[in-house]
Structure 1
């Protein structure tokens, strides 16, 4: 018979202090970024914890003068294409690997793992030469295809686990009721693996939204820059405009936070409904 662990008041206070210290350590960079973005005197702020004056001038400078809104639209376009294509391809590929029997099935899974282990920096030059040969440089669609290739190994590997966890008897019951394969796929299998699909979408979105090296290497036209590349415009040769930099960084971080918050709720709802329906 298990007993509940009783903590002394001193232990409770120690745990509380440790949790608060951890939260401060984790959230302080975000606070410094936002407070500097809102500080009208960010250049002379130094080590002061509180902003000297609150203003939205830095955001106005970034959007109106720096054209950062255009870079955000480019990043959003690339991220949406990557998320949609990676979700579709990863789901179908995971079903093939987890359900179908074919030659070299194990080899395909091993190759997926090997591709996941390759450092992305080692692929910059080969991919640049390949894109140049196909005349695909300076194209947002081609950049989306590159990000798709990066996110697919993880997506297939994760979705394979979700598909394999679905009992085959559920699919067989759908077949007995007269459903075809596509009807079973959309009506039975897809709702059950939806939480995994959301998780892979989060990874694909973060990969496409935060990537910098390939976007900088493949894009030569200023109008095709993504937000991560456009951020460097506010860094001078000898100085840095910290107010606009932090304002642009805040705008760059908001879509990730909003997207993760939305899909996290959908993920929790999918897990709960799946548990209730049995």
Structure 2
């Protein structure tokens, strides 16, 4: 007598055979999505490439009716001309001082506000959150006169701390919203467990919660840095002297020369490339720290 196995194997083989067919049906969709993503990426990268490529070409080639997509025969003469101007390093120091001070003040106050809104229940909490949201809707141009009169009254005109104060006020509301989400995503039980182990509330925060907030602080710091670094209008109102210009104001000087002579677009592109270099360096420094501290500090030790 011969025994045979029951037949669930046939459906299993059928399902196995159906898997490659399903994958083949999904493959055209993935291919189309990949092509669309590649096109979008190229459209995003092309202006940056065009800026760097134009910075290497002389002005006569840039003004030609035939576009030069490759910087063949290019040189660094435009960069030399920009650096010999003498205003780049002064504007770079001003921008770094203003931006770093503004970002530090912004992160400090935004973190305290995000902790208060996320962890505590108090009267006026909802009104405060709505006020932070409504501040973002105010047009910046409508505040210029008030900001100028304020800085004039407290002696903040033509100063690093005056511009930094206005920059920090500009980016604090949105930074509070960003950090609020990060703080709300960290369970309060971690701090309570650390306090049960004998830590005070302050030490529990710095040993447990603060390391977990590192990615949020870095992400918020990147946003604040970009906003402050590229800000133009507030600096134009507060900084009137030529020796106090930030990089965006310094970059404007290359275009203003068009009143007396033609614009040297090669130098404009070279100057724009130099303005972008500190931002690239900043991203290279913080990209490895975006996820650092994600789980560090969750265990006492």
- Report if TM-score (shorter chain) is over 0.5: yes
* 3-state secondary structure, aligned to 1:269: coil
Tell me how far 1:215 sits from its aligned partner. 0.7
Q: Where does residue 120 of structure 1 map in the other structure?
A: 140
Q: Report the structure number with the largest CA radius of gyration.
A: 2
In 1, the alpha carbon distance for the partners of 2:37 and 2:117 equals 42
Q: Is the 8 A contact 1:42 1:51 kept in 2?
A: no
Q: Which moved more, 1:142-151 or 1:82-91?
A: 82-91
* 3-state secondary structure, aligned to 2:292: helix
In 1, the alpha carbon distance for the partners of 2:34 and 2:130 equals 45
Tell me how far 1:95 sits from its aligned partner. 1.1
Q: Is the 8 A contact 2:212 2:297 kept in 1?
A: no
Instruction: Tell me the TM-score normalised to structure 2 length.
Output: 0.83
Q: Is the 8 A contact 2:95 2:247 kept in 1?
A: yes
Q: Where does residue 176 of structure 2 map in the other structure?
A: 156
Tell me how far 1:52 sits from its aligned partner. 4.8
Unaligned runs of 5+ in 2: 1-14
Q: Which moved more, 1:41-50 or 1:244-253?
A: 41-50
Q: Where does residue 161 of structure 2 map in the other structure?
A: 141
Distance verdict in 2 for CA 1:8–1:90, change over 3 Å: closer
Q: Is the 8 A contact 1:162 1:196 kept in 2?
A: yes
Q: Does residue 248 in structure 1 map to residue 266 in structure 2?
A: no
Aligned pairs, how many? 275
Q: State the Cα RMSD in Å.
A: 2.4
Distance verdict in 2 for CA 1:101–1:33, change over 3 Å: same
* 3-state secondary structure, aligned to 1:34: helix
Q: Which residue of 4, 17, 25 maps to 2:43?
A: 25
Tell me how far 1:276 sits from its aligned partner. 9.6
In 2, the alpha carbon distance for the partners of 1:251 and 1:227 equals 9
In 1, the alpha carbon distance for the partners of 2:204 and 2:31 equals 54
Tell me how far 1:123 sits from its aligned partner. 1.5
Matches within 5 A, 1:83-122: 83-122=103-142
Distance verdict in 2 for CA 1:276–1:216, change over 3 Å: same
* 3-state secondary structure, aligned to 1:6: helix
* Cα deviation digits, residues 24-83 of structure 1 (max 9, x gap): 2111111111011112x2333332212352221211211222421211121111111112
Q: Does residue 37 in structure 1 map to residue 55 in structure 2?
A: yes
- Name segments (4+ residues, structure 1) moved above 6 Å: none
Matches within 5 A, 1:214-225: 214-225=234-245
